[in-house]
Structure 1
Amino acid sequence: MSLTTPTEGRAMLAPEQRLTLAERRKVETRLDIARTAARLFAEYGTAEVTAERIAAEAGIGLRTFYRYARTKEDAVEPMLTTGAEHWLEIIAAGPRRLPTVAELELAALQSLSGGDDFELTRGLLRAMETDPALRAVWHRINMEGERELRRVLADLAEPGTDPVRVRLLAAAAAGAIRIALEEWAVVEDSAAGGATPAELTVRCLRTLGAGL
């Protein structure tokens, strides 16, 4: 989930936690590489795009590229994780208990309400439908996001809370966001009604909250 920029995603940090100029430049470089890779992958697919081409079009050397990404597919990771990181920050900063569905909705709305990369993200998610390499990256990122959400929820849960309940809540919430983004990417005017990612996420969460 990545529909906010790194600076937006860090807006909640306290002054002493704010990124330095050098750190901000690294974040922006990673995002520039991710945007370039996403654009190329969406247009040509991963099989036709090399790390050398991504680096050249991003205006960096190949050695610099590999300082920021392990593989060409992993280069898109910042576009797929920043929104989720912001969502986790909002949840972690909430009441010291498991969040309600309404609170999860509010956090999703806040973390998915802005950003300049909507169309790039849409193109990347569409490309994943037929590109196994990109799909593997997407599923890995979602599994890691679910695991991190489970850690955050376990930290918020009251002592004695059933760990299975925590795990199910994490899986359901993470799955709702994944499904919302995937539906938003491939459906424009029919069943989704042209809804935004945030609106679709709320719809998915409310469906889960009401019971399938």
Structure 2
Amino acid sequence: MTAARGRTGRPPLTEERKAAIRLEIARAAVDLFVAQGVAATTGEQIGQAVGVSARTVWRYFPSKESCVRPLFSTGIDTIATALRQWRPGRPLEEAFDHVWARDAALPGPDVGALLRLTRSEPGLRAVWLQTHDEAEPAFARALAERAGLPADDVRPAIRAAMLNAALRAAVEHHAYRTTEPGADPATARADLAATLRTALAVTAAGLT
């Protein structure tokens, strides 16, 4: 009787490991984009910086610009959860105080550097805007669930668009004026959290 053959080769990657690889690629891409520009950066260079092949890079991302998407999309699920848990009668900005208190929930310096590049790199700008476009339905679903409204009600969609625009404007505002190298990270995070809180306060009148 022939013994059954066991599975050979590497075990499949877990979703957590795949997400970690995507993030490693994203951070390597940012470093290269900032150092030498998008046009001069190749998939091979991005892969070498992470210790993977260019083929692996393209397995995860369709283009070099899209490599940065994991950094832009960080926090979408956290924001949607905070919206669902936003208590009736409480200011919108208070719903996110516990979120902004966690450093991991705030966009880091690499995102700031990326956003500054989006002003001169249309490909990166497109990825940034697409990420927000894809986040909007998640915010709308959360707001509809919170208000007990049907998913196809237009009001959560409009409120989600307002919230989405406010968050994007706040992060861009912070990134565009935070250009000093060697700035204290704690001060920068506190300033970003304050800017986001202000944006939410300004938006709240249209969401309540």
TM-score tier by shorter-chain length is 0.7 to 0.9
Equivalent position of 2:158 in the other structure: 168
Structure 2 CA distance for partners of 1:156 and 1:49, relative to 1, 3 Å:
same
Structure showing greater radius of gyration is 2
CA contact (8 A) 2:115 2:175 kept: yes
CA RMSD of aligned residues (A): 3.0
Separation (CA, whole Å) in 1 of partners of 2:29 and 2:151:
43
How high is the sequence identity, in percent, across the aligned residues? 33
CA contact (8 A) 2:136 2:164 kept: yes
Equivalent position of 2:132 in the other structure: 142
Q: Does 1:209 align with 2:204?
A: yes
**Alpha-carbon shift at residue 106 of structure 1 (Å):** 2.6
Structure 2 CA distance for partners of 1:55 and 1:101, relative to 1, 3 Å:
farther
Structure 2 CA distance for partners of 1:109 and 1:129, relative to 1, 3 Å:
farther
Unaligned 5+ segments in structure 2 are 1-12, 180-186
Separation (CA, whole Å) in 2 of partners of 1:29 and 1:161:
34
Q: TM-score by structure 2 length? A: 0.77
Structure 2 CA distance for partners of 1:29 and 1:165, relative to 1, 3 Å:
same
Q: Does 1:110 align with 2:99?
A: yes
Q: Deviations over 1:43-78 (max 9, x none)?
A: 322211111111111110112112211211111111
Unaligned 5+ segments in structure 1 are 1-20
Match of 2:191 among 188, 196, 200: 196
Separation (CA, whole Å) in 2 of partners of 1:145 and 1:51:
27
Separation (CA, whole Å) in 2 of partners of 1:149 and 1:104:
15
Higher relative contact order (CA 8 A, sep 6+): 1
CA contact (8 A) 2:91 2:204 kept: no
Q: TM-score by structure 1 length? A: 0.75
